[in-house]
Structures are given as C-alpha cells and as structure tokens.
Structure 1
C-alpha cells in the first residue's frame, strides 16, 4: 500500500480564489456621485449644443439688414420709408447722397447692400458684397426683387466684392477661425491634464502662459499657409492672417487656462459652452448677424469665434474696415485670460496655504 503523497518541497497550499464583491457592490463602486455628475454634465452640454445650433439656424429671418438708398431727393425719403416699414423690419434703410458714397458704405461694411433707384427708367440696381456673407446678399436680393415686382420694376444685382474662387461660399474665414479657437482651448486643456501639471501655482501658470505664445505663433502661421499657398482660398494676406491667428489662439487658450485653473473640470465645460455651443453658431460664419435670432446676433461678436471670423473676413475682402471692435474683443480675451489665470493660481495657492495651516493647528491641538 502506497503512502499518501506529500506536497513537494517549496510548494505552498493553494489559496482560495477571492470572493466576488457582487454586482451591487461593483455597481456602487462604479457609479459614484462624481461619475453621475460627469455623465449628467455631458448630457447637458450635448442638449445645449443641439439647442444652440438648431435655435440659431432653424429659421433664418432677416432683421434690419443695413441698406443704403440712392435716389433723387423727392423719391429718396419715400423709398427709405417704404423699406423701413416692411413687415418684420427686414431692412434698415438709410439715404446716401450718391452712388459713390453708397458703394463706399458697402465696402467699408457700414451697409450690406445699396439700392440705386433709376428715375429715368424702370430698371434699378442693387449693389451687394457677397464676400461679407452670401446668405445676406441673397436675402437682400430676394427682398428687392419682391418689392420691384410689386412696383412693376426690374432690378439688376451687381456683386462688387465676391469671395475668392478658392473660397467657395465665403466660409473659409469661419473654418479657419474655428480651427484656431479649438486648437487654443484644447492645448490649454492638455497642459492642465499633463503629468506633473498640478498644483497650478503661479510659477507653473507663468510657464504654461509662456509656452502658449510660440504655440499660438506656429498655429497662426500654419493656418495662413493652409488657406493661402496650399488652397489659395484667402491668398495675399499671409502675415496679416498669421497675426490674426496668433491673437485668436491666445484669446482661446489663455481664457481656457484661466477658467480651468479657477474652476477645474467645470472650467473646461464652461469653455466648451462659450466657444463651441454658443460661439460657433453666433459667429456669423454660416449666417451673418442680420439673419440670426436676437440672442445669437447679440452675443456673436463678443466671443472669439465671431470676432475672429469678422476680423479675417474684413481683412481679406474689405481692406481691414470695421475690424477695430473685433481686435479689442480678441485682445481682451488674450490679456484678460492671462491675468485671470495668474490671479486664479495665486488664489488657489492662498487657499492651499490656509488649509495646510489649519490642518497643522488641528494636529497640534490633538497632541
């Protein structure tokens, strides 16, 4: 009879497999309050995105499109009054003293169109500049054609500044600025998520701000190369576009850095809300301000996407006219974001110091 075998030397008894905590425990561990909050936040951003874009674009309606009117003195007042009394106020007419002045107003963006009345015949002229927004030019044309048909007159439309052949429907400015804005806030976000990026103290914030400058310059130049030499969409303005791109990226990136330093993850959500959910549909890239609902029309030029789009479009097509407000807006975001980021890091340092002092005093009291 053989003796029972003994475990080999050096072996250890088999350990029992760990017990599964069970589905309920796993669910409780996975679905934390923080996770629920993040999912809810994502849902709210998604719904806000749909609401903002559909709200802005679902039914473009003209509202007070600026139009110059050139006509003899006795007819001018009547035509201006007739245009301004149209149902829904689709246009805002202003008498111009001459055709040259009216043309200048269109090219300097004081008006979007100019109506030239011919007192010696039945065919009038409408001057438009579709490079400033083809949808507005088309809408102004439709309004003029409807009025002329009711008066048994005809209208000839003359486009005095159309988009470049490589610019299609004049959307390149919008897409270019969209890329700059997204690149700016994504880079700031990546810096905040990178290994060793916390805590966001003042020296580290200054390092991040300094790093954003060469990134913004490279982004501006690269964007100008793409829309210029590569695709010839907005050619002939390389250095101006490079500078605009640098400023736009800085405006987006420093603002994102500031909000993320101040509010953490909530700051990232706020950046997306401002720049993507609200900024893009209100920018004037798809439909210019006169075709947008009041809310989107009001906020568009106060946000980097709208200011950047206007700055690029008017620099390329309208000799830089009507760009001062856009420059101030982008400059305010760039400088204000940098100052707020530094101030937020200082504030966080103060909070951390106060917490550490309080924890040390509490520990001493318990000894």
Structure 2
C-alpha cells in the first residue's frame, strides 16, 4: 500500500470512529427516560398515586406498595427502589436517594409534585450524595478516567512487557496501586465518596484489573486486533452505557442491562453500593467484575503455561489457549 493510500485509509478509519463515538456517547443521553424504574408507594393514597404514575406512562415505573414510611425507607436503603411517595392524607412526602441517581431523584420529585398538585411537596433525601458533590457530577465523571487509565495499563503491559508472567505481576501491582491511590483521591482530596477507604480501594482496584487484564488477555489471544476490539468495547460501549450519572433503568432497552454486564457499569453500581448504601445490592456487580477478571487471568495463566510462552514477544501475536 502506498503512502497516499495509507493516508486515505487512516482518514476514513478516523472519520468512521468519530461517527461511531458520537452515536455511542450522544444517543443514550438523548434517549433518557424511566423504564420499569423501581418506585415504592405507601399510605392511604398509595393506590391513587400508583394509578397516577401508571397513567402517565404504563412502562415507566415498577411500582411496589409498602406498608408504611419505614418500609419505604428500607426499600430505598436496600436499593430495591430509587425513591418512594408516602401519602398520609395531606401533601405527599417524596423520599428520594440522590446518591442512587440525582437525575431520578429530580424526576421523581417533579412527577410527585404534578400528581399531588402541591407546589412544593415535602422531600426527604434518604441517601444523599456527598455534600461536596451535591449534583453527583463528580461521581459520574469518575468512570471515564478509571476506564481510560486501565486501558492504558493493559496496552502498555501488552506492548512493552515481553513476559506473560511479568504482565501478571504488573496487573497485580497496578490493581493495588490504582485502588489505593484513586480511593484516597475521591474520598479525601475530592470528597466525592463517603465510604470506607479500603472498601473503595478494593472496588476501584477490581474495576481497574477487570479492564486491564481483559485487554492484556485479548492481546495474547488475538494480537493487535484483540487490543483494538477490547479497547473499543470498553470505551464505546462500557462507558456511555455505564449509567453512572443516571441509572440503568433510564437507558433504552436492552442497553441499560448490557451496560451493567460490562466493567464500567458494574463498577459504577458497586461504587454506589459500597460508598452510600453499606454494600446493599453489591453482589451482582461484584460477580460481573470477578467474572471478567477471572476469565482474563485464566486465559493469561493458560498462555503462560504453554511450552515456549515463558518469554513472549513485546508485540503480541495471536495464540490459541484452547
């Protein structure tokens, strides 16, 4: 291929990539709306409030009726509901959890106001965001740096470290260092997350190694093609579908569910659970992250144990791990 055709190929590829990135990042944001969003109602007017919510949009809310305000609080703190509307004959009380999703909290408040007719309904933020991140924007902005830095770690280990054993050691060191340092930054320097430092470090380390180890494993199996596919998957799908600023139920179906099966989305959900909800609903995202990590490490271990693979080349070539 001549230099001219190489330039044309690069220009076309960059143009296509730009178009794909615009769609990947802008489309989910433009289609935000509640879809089976878990909401609790209680009190004498619970049935009327539930009917009003269904009348607005039959598919918007997954409504559960609870016995009283205490049960509504429990549903929120256990991450079984994003919010609740408690009726007692007067103006309803809207229970929200801005830590779960500031966007959902705002929307639920607005809808309750419209249904009740009260100009300013009583609002109680059961699980608020950190006072230094009142709008939740800082938390939402955390996901992309975690993903990009982990992609970079995976690429550098793949391209610059020749031995698979050394790459495994590098992954372990990166997970520990990234977890401890990033947790210190977000919990103390930036004050975005109020959760325990070591628990946050563990979550961030797990997210980091899930992404970086997958990239390294993809490079070992499929060479540069694997590196490219892995990076594009996490960057163009994982990040915009993470729902870090909204909630998976706010994304178009089935993209909200798919996003939670990728490390960025699972990591964001797990960070919320650990930082704000005492670990409630942490099992599912933890299993997702562990699955990605264990699969990648298994691939690397098998590749390292193959005869002749103890000293890999610095530029990865495809290798069968079957």
Instruction: Give the TM-score taking structure 1 as reference length.
Output: 0.77
Is 2:97 the counterpart of 1:129? yes
Residues 263 and 44 (structure 1), Cα distance of their counterparts in 2 relative to 1, 3 Å cut: farther
- The correspondence of residues 88-107 of structure 1 with structure 2, limited to 5 A, is 89-107=59-77
- Unmatched segments (≥5 aa) in structure 2: 310-322
1:70 to partner: Cα distance: 0.5
Residues 181 and 153 (structure 1), Cα distance of their counterparts in 2 relative to 1, 3 Å cut: closer
- Indicate the residue corresponding to 2:28 in structure 1: 56
Indicate if the aligned counterparts of 1:217 and 1:245 stay in contact, CA closer than 8 A. no
Is 2:206 the counterpart of 1:206? no
1:224-268 CA distance string (max 9 Å, x none): 111122222224521111111111111011101111222222222
1:167 to partner: Cα distance: 2.0
Is 2:264 the counterpart of 1:305? yes
Question: SS of the counterpart of 1:130?
Answer: coil
Q: Look at both structures and tell me which one has the larger radius of gyration over its CA atoms.
A: 1
- Indicate the residue corresponding to 2:3 in structure 1: 30
Residues 93 and 324 (structure 1), Cα distance of their counterparts in 2 relative to 1, 3 Å cut: same
- The correspondence of residues 192-341 of structure 1 with structure 2, limited to 5 A, is 192-194=158-160, 197=162, 204-341=163-300
1:349 to partner: Cα distance: 6.6
**Which residue of 139, 157, 160 maps to 1:191?**
157
- Indicate the residue corresponding to 2:316 in structure 1: none
Indicate if the aligned counterparts of 1:314 and 1:323 stay in contact, CA closer than 8 A. yes
Indicate if the aligned counterparts of 1:261 and 1:345 stay in contact, CA closer than 8 A. no
- Indicate the residue corresponding to 2:37 in structure 1: 65
- Unmatched segments (≥5 aa) in structure 1: 1-27, 198-203, 351-367
Q: Which whole-Å CA distance do the structure 2 matches of 1:235 and 1:78 have between them? A: 37
Question: SS of the counterpart of 1:330?
Answer: helix
Question: SS of the counterpart of 2:92?
Answer: strand
1:87 to partner: Cα distance: 2.8
Q: Which whole-Å CA distance do the structure 2 matches of 1:37 and 1:325 have between them? A: 42
Indicate if the aligned counterparts of 1:96 and 1:102 stay in contact, CA closer than 8 A. yes
- Indicate the residue corresponding to 1:361 in structure 2: none
- Indicate the residue corresponding to 1:20 in structure 2: none
- The correspondence of residues 162-181 of structure 1 with structure 2, limited to 5 A, is 162-181=128-147
1:105 to partner: Cα distance: 0.4
286-295 or 245-254: bigger deviation: 286-295
138-147 or 228-237: bigger deviation: 228-237
Residues 51 and 153 (structure 1), Cα distance of their counterparts in 2 relative to 1, 3 Å cut: closer
Indicate if the aligned counterparts of 1:166 and 1:234 stay in contact, CA closer than 8 A. no
Aligned length: 309
Indicate if the aligned counterparts of 2:143 and 2:244 stay in contact, CA closer than 8 A. no
Q: Which whole-Å CA distance do the structure 2 matches of 1:343 and 1:43 have between them? A: 38
Instruction: Give the TM-score taking structure 2 as reference length.
Output: 0.87
Q: Which whole-Å CA distance do the structure 1 matches of 2:8 and 2:305 have between them? A: 31
1:168 to partner: Cα distance: 3.6
335-344 or 311-320: bigger deviation: 335-344
Residues 174 and 341 (structure 1), Cα distance of their counterparts in 2 relative to 1, 3 Å cut: farther
- Cα RMSD of the aligned pairs, angstroms, is 2.5
Q: Which whole-Å CA distance do the structure 2 matches of 1:156 and 1:185 have between them? A: 45
- Indicate the residue corresponding to 1:148 in structure 2: 116
